[in-house]
Amino acid sequence: MSVIADIVIVVLLLLGAGFALIGSLGLVRLPSTMERLHGPTKATTLGLGALLVASVVYFRARFGVWTAHEALISLFLFITAPISANMIAKVHLHRLRTGAISEPDSIAGPPPRPGGDGEWATFEAPRRDTPASTANS
Amino acid sequence: MTLLDHLPIAPVVIPAMTAPLAMMLMRRHARAATALSLGGCVAMLVAACTLFGVAQDGAIRSYALGAWPAPFGIVLVLDRLAAMMLVLAALLATVVLGHALVTGADRRGWHFHPLFHFQLMGLNGAFLTGDLFNLFVFFEVLLIASYGLMLHGQGALRMKAGVAYVVVNIVGSALFLIALGLLYGLTATLNMADLAVRIAALGTADQGLLRVAGLLLMTVFALKAAVVPLHLWLPRTYAATMPVVAALFAIMTKVGVYAMIRTVPLIFGAQAGAAAWVPAPYLLPAAILGAVVGFVGVLAARGLREQAAFAVLASTGTLLMAVASWRAATLAAALYYMVQAVLAGAALFLVADVTMRRRGQYADALVPSPRFAGQDAAGLLYLAAAIGAVGLPPLAGFVGKLLILDASYATPGWPAVWTTILVTTLIGVIGFSRSGSTLFWKTSAADADPIACPARAHAEFIAPALLLAALAALTGAAGWMTEQTRATAAQVMMPVTYVTAVLGAAR
Amino acid sequence: MIDLALHLAAGAIALAVLLNLWRLLRGPALGDRIVALDTMVINAIALIVLIGMIGGNDTYFEAALLLAMVGFVSTIAYCKFILRGDIVE
Amino acid sequence: MRHVLPHPALSAMLLIVWLLMANSITIGGVVLGGAFALILPKFTQPFWPDRPRMRFGRHFLGYLAIVLLDIVVANFQVAWLILFRRSRDLRARWLVVPIDLTTPEAITMLAGTISLTPGTVSADVSADGRFLLVHALDVADEAAEVARIKRRYEARLHRIFA
Amino acid sequence: MSLEFLVASAIAVLVAGGIYLALRGRTFQVVLGLTLLSYAVNLFLFAIGRLIVDRPPLYAKDVTAHADPLPQALVLTAIVITFGMTALTVILSLRSFLESGSDQVDGLADPDAEEPA
Amino acid sequence: MALLTLISLPFVAAILLALARHATRGVHMLIAGGASAGGVAVLLTQAGAVLAGRTPAVRIAWLPALGLDLSLWLDPLALLFAALILGIGFLVVLYAQGYLKKEEPTARFLSFLLLFQGAMVGIALSGNVLLMLVFWELTSLPSFLLIGFWRDRAEARQGARMALTITGGGGLALIAGMVLLGKAAGSYELATILSRAAQVQASPLFPAILLLILAGAFTKSAQFPFHFWLPHAMAAPTPVSAYLHSATMVKAGVFLLARLWPVLAGTEWWFVIVTAVGLVTMIFGAGVALFRHDLKAILAYSTISQLGLMVMLLGFGTAAAVTAAVFHILNHAAFKAALFMHAGIVDHETGTRDIRRLGGLAALMPLTATLGVLAAAAMAGLPPLGGFISKEMMLEQSAHTAWAGQALLVPVLATLAALLSAAYSLRYAVALHFGARRTAAMAAPHDPGALLLAPPAVLVGLALALGLAPMTLAGPLVAAASAAVTGATRPALHLALWHGVNPALLMSLGAVAVAVLLLWRHAAVAAAVARLPAPDAKRLFDRGMTAAVGALRQLSGRLHAASLQRYLTVLFLVAIALGSEAALRFGITPGARATTPASPVAIVAWVALVAATGAVLAIDRRRYLALIFLSVIGVVMALAFVHLSAPDLALTQIAVEVVTILLMLLALHLLPGNPPRLSGVTRRARDGLIAAAGGLGTGWLAWTIMTRPERAGVSRFHWDNSYAGGGGTNVVNVTLVDFRAFDTFGEITVLGIAGLAIYALLEPAAHGVAGRRLRQWRSRDRFSPERHPMMFVMATRLLLPLALLVGFYIFLRGHNQPGGGFIAALVFSIAILQQYLASGFDWTDVRRRIGEHQLIASGVLIAVATGLGSLLFGAPFLTSSFGHFHLPLIGDFELATAMLFDLGVAAVVVGAVMMALAQLAHVAQRAAKNDGDAAA
Ligand code: NA
Ligand code: NA
C-alpha cells in the first residue's frame, strides 16, 4: 500500500510540477500573447490538479486522514481560469484594434470577423435580447 | 468589582458608543444626533472628572482588560497624569463641540460628530493605556479621526495640506512600528511596566539596539508633538483646517508630549542603560528651536490661523524646555504650562474662527479690512487669547512661564532656557500686537461701510470666552493647580510605583 | 523518495515562477504581463500546497483556496482597467 | 418548495462545498452546511435573476468525464508543442465557432470548456452571441476543429441546458 | 544563504524603495512608496518574532515548537490599519487632484493641467 | 482688608465700567472717580499708622509652589506711590471727562485707565517680587490699549506697539532679574530680600541680577537709550499722557530702583551704571526738550530728563540723595501732570500743540495761563515752588559726588542739566503765554470749564504748597519714605526754600541766568541744532522692525514652505541620524542564534520580490505597470507568510492585496496619465542615498534582531492559555479577539473612521470644482464598448454564493484555525465587489441589502456591547467567556463571546471596505448624472 502510494504520489508530484513548469515555459517560449495564453491553462488544470491529488494521497498515506478539500481549489480554478483567459484575450484584441504599440499580432494573424453583420463584443457592445447580453447590460 | 472600578474604561467606551449612534442618527434625525453628541461629550467630562477625583488619593489603578493579568493582556492605567489629561481633553472637547454647534461648523461636511467622538476615543485611549502597542493603536485612531476632521469642509488647499499631513503621519506610524518591533524583539513584552523591568535587565550586547529603539520611538513622539525640525507639517495643516477643528487639535501635539512624559521616566529612566533618558541630549536644543521658530512664526504669520498654529508650536517648544531636564520640579511646571497652553491655543483658534466669520472675504488674513460687526468684542477676545498664548498676566501663561523659569533654574542649560523664554515672549508680544492692531484697530477705509454680515449670534463668543475664563481660573487657582501638577510630576518620576501597581508587588 | 520528489516539484514550480517573472518584466504586451501575473498566482497556489505537504500540515489550505478564489479578481480588474478604464461602472 | 429551495442544485453544490471545506462529514457539519445551503441561494437570488434550468443527470456526468479526459490528453499534446515545436512551425489559428446555445450560462460553459482544454482559448463572443472567437495553438484543419468543438461539447451542453 | 538574510535584505530593499518613492513628487508615487514601506514594516514586525518554518501557532497539547503568535497578531493589526490608511490616502490624493487639477504633492500645477470652466 | 480693598477697587471698577458701557458718561465718571477717591480715602485711613511706623500687610497664599503669594504691604514708600497713583488718578478721571469728545467711548477709556491704576497700585503695594512682576507686566497692556486708543491713527498704533515692545522687553529682563534675585536671596518675599543685601551682593549672579533689573527699570522709566518710546506714546489722549507718561507709569522704574535700593545700591556696579544713565538721560532729555516744538513732545522729553534726575540721585547711593529723589518724585508728579493737562487744554482750545504757532495766551485764557506758568516755573526749579527745593537738593548732592576721582564732573553736568531744564521750562512758560497773540486754528480760545481746569489747578496748588510749606505738607511722608527706601532710620529732614548761600544755590542761579540768555537767543541756537544730524529713533526703530519682520517672515515662510518632500526628507534624515548615533556609540551586532537555511523556493521568491520592487522603482510613473509589480510583491509576501508559519497573515495579505489593487485601479482611472518627471538627477541621487541608508539601516536592525536568540516573553502565556483560558486553538486569533481584543477594538475603529472619512471626502466630490473637473474628465485612451463581459458576469453569479459560503466558513473556524472575522469580512467584500466589477454599480448597488453606514456603526456597537457585557458579570471590559456544548445529533460545538466580538469586527470591515470602494466607484457615475441633471 505504502509503496504504491509513494509511487503514485511521486508520479503525481512530478507530473503536476512538470506541467506547471511547462506551462510557464510556454509563457516564455511561445511567440506572442495569444499563444502564450495557452501555457497557463496547463498549470491550472493538470498541473495543479495532479499536485492536489498528490496532496490527497499524501495526507492519506502519511497521516491516515482523508482530505478532500483540495478539490475545492480545482473547482474555483476551473470557474475562474477561463474568465481570466477570456479577459486577457479581450485586452489583447482591444489593444490590437486601438493600435497600441508593443501589442504584436498573433502568428495566426489578425482575428477574423464573426459571421453575420455583427462584431466581437470587445468591439461592439453586446446587443440587447441576444445570448451575449447579460440581463443587466 | 463595583461599577466605579470599571470607570477607567468609560472615557473610551462613551465616545465609542456615541460615535456610531450619532452616525446612525445623523441622516434622519440630525437634531437627535447633535443632542446625543453633546450629551456624550458631557458624559465624558463627568467621567473624566470622576476619575480625576479617584486619582486624587495618589494610588495608581490598573484595569486589566479581558481579565488577563498584566503583562499578558492590555491594561489601562489610571494615574494622576492620565486623569489630568482626560479632564483636559474632555473640557476642551466640550467647549469646542459647543462652538461647532453654535457656528454650524458641524454641518459643513459629513460625519463631524462621529469623527469628533472617535477622535476623543483615540485621545482618551492613548492617555489611559499601559501597553505600548495599544498606544500605537490609539495613536492611529486619533490620527485617522484627525484626518477626517482636518479635511472636514471643502477646499483645494485643505486637501493638499491634508495629503501632506496624512502621509507624514503614516510614515511616522511606520517608524513607530519599527521601534515597537525592536523593543519587542529585545524584551518579548509590550506592557510598559514590564518593558521597564525587562529593559533594565538587558545585557551589554543589546544596548545599541535598545538605544535605536528608544530614539526612534522618541522621533515618532517628536513628530506628533511637532518638535523642531519635525514640525514642518504643522503650520500648514493647522492653518488649512477649520479653526474649530484646529482648536481641538491644540491638544493633539500635546499627545506627543504626553507620550514622552509617559514613556521616558517609566521605560527609559535611569535604569535603561544606553537608552537612559534617551531624548535627553537632543530635546533641549530642539525645544529651544521650537520656541524660537514658533514665536517667530507668530510674528511672521500672514493669517490668524497660521499664527495660532505657530503659537501651538511655540507652546510645545516652551514646555519641552522644561520637560527636557527630566526632573520632577521642571516637569510639574511643564504640566501646568501644558494645560494652559492647550486652552490658550484652542482659544486662539476659536477667536480666529469668530473673526474670520465676520470679516467676509478678508477672512483671517492679517491685513486691514473695513470695520466689521462685533469687531470690538472679537478684538478683546483676541487680546485675551494673545495674552494667554504669549504668557502675560493676568492669564495662566505668565504663571506657567514663571514656574518654568523658577524650576529650571540651575538645571543644565538653564541660561539658554531663560534667554529663550524671555526673548521669544518678546517676539510673541511684538507679533501679536502687530497683528492685533492691524486686524482690530486699522481699517482699510475708515469711512467705508462695515462689512455686511448676516446677524451673528453673540453666542459665538461664548466658547472662546469660556476658554479664556478657564485660563483666568487657572491663574486664580494656580496654587491648587500647581499642587496637582507637582503631585503628578512626582508620581511620574517615581516609576516604581507604576510598575508595582501594574505588575504587582512580587516583581 | 517523496521528500525528494516534493523538493523537486517545489524547485520546478520555483523555476516556473522565475519564468513568469521574466515574462512579467519583459512584456512586451500588457496582456503578456497580466498572463504572467495570473500564472504566477497559480504557481503560488501550487507552492502553498507543496509547502503544506513538505511541512506535513494542511493549515495552509485556506490560503491556497483564497488565492484561487480571489486571485483572479485582480486579473480581471487589471483587464477591465485596460478595456474600460472604469472597472466598476 | 420553490420558495424554500429556489435552486436545489445550487443548494446541493453549496452543501458539498461546505463539507469539502470542513473536510469531514458530521451531523453538525451537515446541519450547519445545510443551513447555509438553504439561506445563501435565497439571499443571493437578486444577483442571479433568472437562473437557468440545468439537468445534472447522466448527460452532465458524461460531459464532465469527457472534458476531464480531453484536458489530460490535450495537456500532453500542448506540452509536446511547447517543448519541441519551434515557434515558426506552430499552426496557430483563429477559429470562429458559430453557436446555437441560447443562454449566456450555456455559452459561458462552452467557452469555459474550450479554454480549460489546453490548446484552445475562448477569446471573445460576438455582440449578438452567435459566434465564439477561439484561438487555437496548433490546428491543421480549422473546419474540422470547429466541428469537433460543436459536436463534442456544444451538442452535449444542449442536452444539459434543455 | 539563510532565510534570515533573505528577509532582512528584503526589508532593506522594500524600505529603500519605499523611502525613494515617498520622496517623489506625485501623489500616486507617494502612495506606492507608502505601500512598499508598509510591506517592509509588516515584514519587520513579523521578523522580530524570529523566523520559524512550518510551525504555525495553532495550539495543541504536545506541541512545543511554534512560531511566536504575538508578532503575528501585531502584524495583522498593522495590516488592517495600513489598509485603512492606504484607502484614505488614495482617495484623499484623488480628491486633492480633483480640487486642484494637479496630482503633485507640493501643490504645483503641471503646465498642461486642465482647468475646469 | 484695607490693602485688599485698595488693590481690588480699580479692578472692580474696570469691570463695572465694561459692564455698564452703555450707561451715561456721568455714571462712568462716578464709577471711575468713585473708585479712585475711595482708594484715596482708604489710604488716608492707613496713612497715620504708616507714618507712625507701622506697616500694614496682608499675605494670602496663592502659589506656594513658586513662593508667589498675594503679599501686600503698605510701607511709607508704597504709601507715597499709592497716593500719587490714586490721587492723580482721581484728577485725571475728572479731567478726562472734560477732555473726551461726546462720541468717544468713555467706558472703554476709563476701564483701561482703571485697569492701569489697579496694576500700578499693585506694583506699589507688592510685598513679593513675583507679585510685583505680575502687576508690572500688567501695566503694559492698558498702556498699550490707551496709547492706541485713537486706533484709526497710524501714529497711535505705532506708538502703542513701540511702547509695548520696549517696556515689554524690559519687563522680560526684569522677570529674569527678579527670579534670579529671589534665587540669590532665597525668597521672593520683599521684606526677606531687603534684609539679605549682603547675601545677594555676594552672589556670583549679582551683576546679572543688577543688569537685568536695571534693564526693566530703565525701559519703563524711559532712560537713555531706551527713552525713545515715550515721545511717541504721546499719541495717546492727553489724560493718558498726564497719568501714565508723566506721573505714574514711567515712575514705576524709579520706584523699582528705590524699592530695591537696599539690596542693589551701594555697590560699584550700581553707582557707575545708575548714575551714568541717569546723568546722561537728564542732560539728553533736557537738551532735546529745548528744541522741540510740540508741547507734548517738550513735556515728554522733559519727563525723560526729570526721570533721569531721579535715577541719578538714586544712583548716588547716599541716604541724602535718596531723600532728594523721593521729594522730587512728589514734585514732579504734581507739576508734570499739571503741565500735561495744561497742554491738553491749549490743544483743546486752540487746535494746535505747536509752540511756534502759539503765543499770548495769557490774555485769552488767563486762568489756564496762570496754571501753566506756575507749573512751568516749578519745572524750571524756581522759588517758591516745590521744584525749586528738590532741584536744590539735587545740585547739593551732585556737588558732593565725585566720579572716577573727578570731583567736578558730576556737579558741572548736573548744572548743565539744570540749565537746560530751566531753559525749556521758561520757553514753555514764556513763548506760549506771552508775546504776540498767535492762536492757530480757533478764533477765540478761552478758559475751559471747571472739569478741565480744576484738576490742574489742584496740582499746581500742590506744587506751590510743596514749596511754601514743604515740611508741613510732605515732611513726614518724605522722611518716612526715604527711610523706607534706604532701610535705615529716618533722616533728619529739613525741607525749606532757603538754605543759605551754598554751592547749590550758586549753581542754580548760574543755571537760570544762562538759561535766560539761551532763551533770548533761542531761534538762532534752534536753527543751529536743527542742522545737526539727529538720528530719528522712531524711524530707526520702525525701519529695524520692518526689516526684521520682513526677514523673519521670509525665513519662516521659506522654512515652512508647503513641501511634503521636505517634511519627509527631514523625517527620514532625523531617523537615520539618530539610528546611526546609537549604532556608532553602542554598536549593533548580530547575535548567535542559528540561522535557517533558505530553500530554492525562498530564494526565488526573494528574487521575485527584489525584481518587482526594482521594477516599481524603475517605472514608477507608469502607474498601471507599477501596480502589477506591486501585486507580485503581494504574492511573495503571502508566500513568505505561509512559509514562515503565519497562515492568518497569509490569508489577510491575500485578501487585502486584492482589495487594495481594486481601490488603486479605481482611483488610477481618474488620475492623469503618464505625467512628466518632476525631479532632476541630483535630487534623485540624493533621495537614492537617503533611501539606501534607510533601507540598509532597517535591514541591519532586522538582521541583528533575527539572529538573536528569542527571549521568553508574554506570548508563552498566550500559548499556554489560548485554549484553556480563551477557548480557541488559533493562538493568533485568540490573541486578537481575547488577549489583545482592545487592540482589535481600536483597529476596527480605525477602519470605521477611514470609511467615514472616505465618505466625507467622496460625497461632496461630485459638486464644486471637483465635480466640474470630474464631468469634464475625458480619458486619453479609447475603450472597448463592452461594459459587462458575459463570461465574467456569469461566473460571478455562481461565485457569489460560493464566496459567501467560504466567508462564513472562515469566520466560524477562525477561533481554532486560521481565519476569523477580519478575513471573512474581506472575503464577503470581495464577493460583493466582484458583482460590482462584473455587473456594474447600479445593478449591484440596488441589490445590496445593508448600507455601509449601518454596518460600520452596528459593528462598532456590537464590539462595544460585547465588551460591556462582561461588566454585567462583574468582570472587566472585554472579558470573554466560552463554553463547549453538546446537542444531540449535532454533536459538540463551542460558543464564545469572542465570536460575537469578531462579528462586530466583520461588520465594520465589510462596511469600511464597501464604503471605500463603492463610494469611489460611485463618484464618476454621480458626476455624470449631475451633468445630466444640470443639462435638464
Ligand atoms: Na488562466
Ligand atoms: Na478574556
Residues 6+ apart with CB under 8 A from F544: none
DSSP-based three-state secondary structure for F63: strand
Which 3-42 residues of chain A touch chain C by CB within 8 A?
A: 6, 9-10, 13-14, 16-18, 20-21, 23-25, 27-28, 32-33, 36-37, 39-40
In a domain, E75, yes or no: yes
- pLDDT > 70? residue C1: yes
- Distance from the Cα of F873 to chain E's closest Cα (Å) equals 28
C74 in contact with F at a CB cutoff of 8 Å? Answer: yes
CB contact under 8 Å between F786 and A121, yes or no, is yes
In this predicted structure, which of B178-192, D139-153, E91-105, F765-779 has the lowest mean pLDDT?
F765-779
What residues does B191 pair with on adjacent strands?
B131
F830 in contact with B at a CB cutoff of 8 Å? Answer: no
Sequence ranges of the domains in chain B: 1-278, 281-495
**High-pLDDT (> 70) share of chain D, %:** 98
Sequence ranges of the domains in chain C: 2-84
In a domain, E58, yes or no: no
Q: How far is CA B493 from CA B149, B180, B496, F393, F528, in A?
A: 35, 23, 9, 60, 70
* DSSP output for chain A: -HHHHHHHHHHHHHHHHHHHHHHHHHHHHSSSHHHHTHHHHHIIIIIHHHHHHHHHHHHHHHH-----THHHHHHHHHHHHHHHHHHHHHHHHHHHHTT-TT-PPPTT-SPPPPSTT--BTTTSPPPTTSTTS-TT-
Chain F hits for C85, CB-CB cut-off 8 Å, are: 669, 779, 781, 783
pLDDT score recorded for residue F441: 56
C-alpha cell at D40: 445563501
Nearest to D70 by CA among B125, E37, B476, A46: A46
D54 in contact with F at a CB cutoff of 8 Å? Answer: no
- Across residues D61-71, what is the average pLDDT? 92
pLDDT score recorded for residue A73: 92
Tell me which fold the domain C2-84 belongs to. Helix Hairpins (1.10.287)
Domains identified in chain E, total number: 1
B149-196 per-position pLDDT tens digit: 998 877 788 888 899 999 999 999 999 999 999 999 999 999 999 999
B93-145 per-position pLDDT tens digit: 999 999 999 998 888 888 899 999 999 999 999 999 999 999 999 999 999 99
pLDDT score recorded for residue F613: 96
pLDDT score recorded for residue B507: 47
Closest ligand to the CA of C37: 1
Chain E hits for C59, CB-CB cut-off 8 Å, are: 56, 58
- pLDDT > 60? residue E110: no
pLDDT score recorded for residue F271: 93
DSSP-based three-state secondary structure for F60: strand
- CB-based burial label for F543 (10 Å; 0-12, 13-18, 19+): exposed
> Which residue stretches of chain F have pLDDT < 70?
439-443, 674, 779-780, 889-891, 926-936
Go through the domains of chain D in sequence order and give each one's CATH number.
8-47 (no CATH), 58-160 (3.30.70)
Give the H or E element holding residue D133. Answer: strand D131-136
B365-386 per-position pLDDT tens digit: 988 888 888 888 899 999 999 9
CB contact under 8 Å between F791 and D48, yes or no, is no
Residues C73, C34: Cα–Cα separation, whole Å: 12
C4-59 per-position pLDDT tens digit: 999 999 999 999 999 999 999 998 899 999 999 999 999 999 999 999 998 888 88
Residues F583, D142: Cα–Cα separation, whole Å: 71
Residues F159, F144: Cα–Cα separation, whole Å: 8
Instruction: Measure CB to CB from residue F695 to each of E16, E39, E67 and give the nearest one.
Output: E16
Q: Which residue of D has its CA nearest to F846?
A: D46
* DSSP output for B21-40: HHHHHHTT-HHHHHHHHHHH
A100 in contact with D at a CB cutoff of 8 Å? Answer: no
pLDDT score recorded for residue D102: 86
**High-pLDDT (> 70) share of chain B, %:** 98
D-F CB pairs within 8 A amount to 64
In this predicted structure, which of A124-128, B45-49, C17-21, F640-644 has the lowest mean pLDDT?
A124-128
CB contact under 8 Å between F694 and E107, yes or no, is no
Q: How far apart are the first and last CA of chain F?
A: 80
Identify from D27, D48, D103 which residue to disrupt to test chain F contact, counting F C-beta atoms within 10 A and taking the largest count. D48
Residues 6+ apart with CB under 8 A from B268: B199, B214, B275, B276, B277, B278
What residues does B131 pair with on adjacent strands?
B191
In a domain, E72, yes or no: yes
pLDDT score recorded for residue F934: 47
More confident residue, E116 or D130: D130
- Residues F649 and E79 sit within 8 Å (Cβ to Cβ): yes
pLDDT score recorded for residue F22: 87
Q: Which residue of D has its CA nearest to F817?
A: D22
Binned at pLDDT 50, 70 and 90, residue B312 comes out as very high
Which 710-729 residues of chain F touch chain B by CB within 8 A?
A: 710-715, 717-718, 721, 725
Closest ligand to the CA of C42: 1
- Residues F818 and A134 sit within 8 Å (Cβ to Cβ): no
Q: Which residue of F has its CA nearest to A80?
A: F795
- pLDDT > 80? residue B447: no
ipTM attached to this prediction: 0.96
CB contact under 8 Å between F633 and E72, yes or no, is no
**Domain that residue E32 falls in:** 3-53+66-100
B388-437 per-position pLDDT tens digit: 999 998 899 999 999 999 999 989 999 999 999 999 999 999 999 999 99
In a domain, E39, yes or no: yes
- CB-based burial label for D5 (10 Å; 0-12, 13-18, 19+): middle
Average pLDDT in chain E: 88
Query: D58 CA distance to ligand 1 centroid (A)?
Result: 29
Which 92-121 residues of chain A touch chain C by CB within 8 A?
A: 92, 94-95, 100, 102-104
CB contact under 8 Å between F555 and B300, yes or no, is yes
